[in-house]
């Protein structure tokens, strides 16, 4: 696996290194010892999925407030998404800054998002399925969110959302 740090501490692009032969290829998508050797302590305790039927469906921006923060490894299992992480950690030198990457099921790349960072994405294809490996249980009372188009965040989305939940539209400005 290749680990590519971003400008936001703890937000890492993870790329598999496929091994190919005439049958196709094989790639490791998560390995505790590989993550640990690269300096990332990440031990998933749950795997979740979201299936999105329509192109330009927006989910997020979500995070769990401390002390219930969670690390997520996010990957497109089918289709493509514009994936965004936002640093919501007060006192961080990159507070309110975002990082975006296209996650593509063909490339099998992933984004590691640490506790205290918001996560959201916009589907770029129909029938995009997203897989999340998460290291902490979901605590509904710790659920937090921000509006995807909050001017304080300045996120540039590649398209206008065609479908977004009422809950995600209702997050107050920061």
pTM as predicted: 0.95
Q: Please, how many CA atoms are within 13 Å of residue 165, restricted to the half-sphere of its CB?
A: 12
Q: Could you read off the pLDDT of 31-62 as tens digits, one per residue?
A: 999 999 999 999 999 999 999 999 999 999 99
Handedness of CA 142, 36, 88, 104 (dihedral sign): negative
Task: Count structural domains, the chain.
Answer: 1
Q: Could you read off the pLDDT of 54-106 as tens digits, one per residue?
A: 999 999 999 999 999 999 999 999 999 999 999 999 999 999 999 999 999 99
Q: Which of 40, 99, 121, 132 is catalytic?
A: 132
Is the distance from CB of 105 to CB of 41 less than 8 angstroms?
no
Evaluate whether residue 150 is within a structural domain: yes
**Domain at 57, CATH number:** 2.60.120.10
CA distance 56 to 31: 31
Whether 62 is a known active-site residue: answer yes
Whether 132 is a known active-site residue: answer yes
Write out the residue range of the structural domain in which residue 136 sits.
Answer: 2-165
SS3 content of the chain, % helix, strand, coil (to 5): 5, 45, 50
Evaluate whether residue 27 is within a structural domain: yes
Evaluate whether residue 142 is within a structural domain: yes
């Amino acid at each position: 696996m290749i680990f590519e740090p971003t400008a936001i501490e703890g937000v890492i692009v993870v790329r598999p290194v496929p091994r190919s032969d005439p049958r196709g290829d094989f790639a490791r998508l998560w390995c505790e010892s590989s993550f640990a050797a690269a300096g990332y302590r990440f031990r998933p305790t749950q795997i979740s999925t979201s299936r999105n039927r329509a192109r330009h469906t927006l989910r997020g921006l979500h995070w769990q407030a401390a002390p219930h923060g969670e690390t997520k490894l996010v990957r497109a299992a089918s289709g493509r998404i514009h994936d965004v992480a936002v640093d919501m950690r007060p006192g961080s030198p990159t507070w309110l800054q975002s990082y975006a990457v296209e996650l593509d099921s063909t490339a099998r790349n992933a984004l590691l998002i640490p506790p205290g960072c918001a996560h959201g994405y916009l589907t770029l294809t129909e029938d995009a399925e997203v897989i999340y490996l998460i290291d902490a249980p979901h605590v509904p009372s710790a659920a937090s969110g921000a509006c995807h188009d909050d001017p304080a965040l300045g996120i540039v989305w590649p398209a206008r959302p065609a479908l977004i939940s009422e809950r995600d539209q209702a997050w107050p400005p920061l």
